Amino acid sequence: MSSRRLVGASALLLASLTLAACDAGSALSGDPDDGSSSSSGASGGSGGADAAGQKPAGRVATNVKRGATVGVDRVVQVTAKDARLTSVTLSSASGAVDGAIADDGARWTASDRLEPGETYTVKALAEGADGKPVRRTSRFETSPLSLEQQTYPSVSPLAGETVGVGMPVVVSFDVPVTDQAEFERHMTVTSKPAQRGTWHWLSATEAHWRPAMYWQAGTKVSVAVDVNGVAAGNGIYGQEDRVVDFEVGDAHVYKVNAKTHQMKVYSNGKLLRTLPITTGKPGFTTRSGTKVILEKFDRKRMNSETVGIAAGSAEAYDIDDVQWAMRVTYSGEFIHAAPWSTGSQGHANVSHGCTGMSTADAGWLYDLSRRGDVVEYTGTDRPMTLDNGYGDWNASFKDYAQGSALR
């Protein structure tokens, strides 16, 4: 090769190497606030150590683009490449969102979802493999939601309440949930001692949970409804998580026989008393099946119009101060004092569907009872239903479990 051709080839090779070096440098330069990731700015290629053996520059990225508008169901993540995350914050005017860094420092994941109509700031700090700090700050927004696009849960029992062994967990929503399976994945019931149970959706706005058998007396229960930001379907999202802890008291089970006109009162398996009672007369038959005490009133006005009996009719009634009333169905069945029927109690059924007893017996039972106590009725041909009060025990556990969205 001539000396002129050798010089020309050397010049071309030098120009090529210079261009390659310029391209590699430009791939790492730039404002960290303008892209989806940032680096410590050390020289070298983007995919590992350079030819001199230097360690690669670290990078940090998020799964939300800077300046984007996202839904509240987004779970924010921050990832590090050739670096180890040391701190990450995610916050808005509503407050900080908790999260956790993985053990290997490669990922941070938010432990909650987002609030609507907010501006969020992500700040991340990592240590690159080259020992240099890697920082990232970015902002994004969440879409606003109207009240019609949000559904709020409420939970029964109440926090700290002590209930009977028949009490189901009841979660109600103010806007219908169409993606019930997704919501059910975020609703849990745990207990000590542990007891097997299942969810059952009575409607798009109400889900119940019950154990396979009555709760064990003394059980401690925790309910977690983690639906904040979860898609409910039809453009609706859950709002506000709920955590409710309650306890189960003594096992009170009352057995009513409409044929013998008696109620046997058991506590923790021991028969305490047998009470003479009266139940519904023909045309107003008391329902047979398992009922649960829904609420208690030391005095309650009872008006026949509320159960469909017209004022002025032969069966009409309006009593201002019925004592020791305990509701067991939404349709109007109560256990209460009925001093006007003491002559029939233990002998005949003369009520409009309620279970009546003497004032003394009703007062004693009222003091013993709490919400969630069980009343088992037999002796009539009118069945109790699942949705008339807390009728959850009127199906086998196998059939009840068919009401789960995850069956």
Question: In the chain, pLDDT over 90 holds for what percent of residues?
Answer: 83
**Within 10 A of 254 (CB to CB), how many other CB atoms are there?**
26
Q: pLDDT tens-digit profile of 373-382?
A: 999 999 999 9
Q: Residue 314 has what pLDDT?
A: 87
Q: pLDDT tens-digit profile of 232-284?
A: 999 999 999 999 999 999 999 999 999 999 999 999 999 999 999 999 999 99
The yes or no reply on domain 55-144 and CATH 2.40.30.170 is no
Residue type, 107: R
Section 345-357 average pLDDT: 97
CATH code of domain 147-249: 2.60.40.3710
**Within 10 A of 352 (CB to CB), how many other CB atoms are there?**
19
Sequence-ordered strand ranges (E) for 312-361 = 318-327, 334-337, 355-357
Q: Residue 306 has what pLDDT?
A: 87
Mean pLDDT for all residues in the chain: 89
List the catalytic residue out of 208, 336, 347, 352.
336
CATH code of domain 252-378: 2.40.440.10
**Distant-in-sequence, close-in-space partners of 351: CB < 8 Å, separation ≥ 6:** 278, 279, 280, 281, 284, 286, 338, 341
Section 73-100 average pLDDT: 97
Query: Pairing mode, if any, of strands 318-327 and 334-337?
Result: antiparallel
pLDDT band at 6 (very low <50, low <70, confident <90, very high): very low
List the catalytic residue out of 208, 261, 352, 354.
354
How far from 10 is each of 15, 21, 22, 24, 245, CA to CA, in Å? Answer: 9, 17, 19, 21, 79
In the chain, where are the structural domains located?
Answer: 55-144, 147-249, 252-378
- What would the DSSP string read from start to end of 33-101? GGSSEEE---SS-TTS--TT-PPPPPEEEESS-TT-EE-TT---EEEEESEEEEEEEEEETTEE--EEE
pLDDT value at 9 more than 70: no
Do the two domains 55-144 and 147-249 of this chain adopt the same fold?
A: yes
pLDDT band at 18 (very low <50, low <70, confident <90, very high): very low
Q: Which of the 8 DSSP states describes residue 20?
A: H
* Dist CA 15 CA 17 (whole Å): 6
**Distant-in-sequence, close-in-space partners of 396: CB < 8 Å, separation ≥ 6:** none
pLDDT band at 307 (very low <50, low <70, confident <90, very high): confident
Q: Residue 374 has what pLDDT?
A: 99
Q: Any catalytic annotation for residue 354?
A: yes
Q: Any catalytic annotation for residue 336?
A: yes
Q: Residue 52 has what pLDDT?
A: 59
pLDDT value at 151 more than 60: yes
Q: pLDDT tens-digit profile of 104-132?
A: 999 999 999 999 999 999 999 999 999 99
Q: pLDDT tens-digit profile of 24-64?
A: 332 222 333 434 455 554 433 444 555 556 788 899 999 99
Residues in the chain: 407
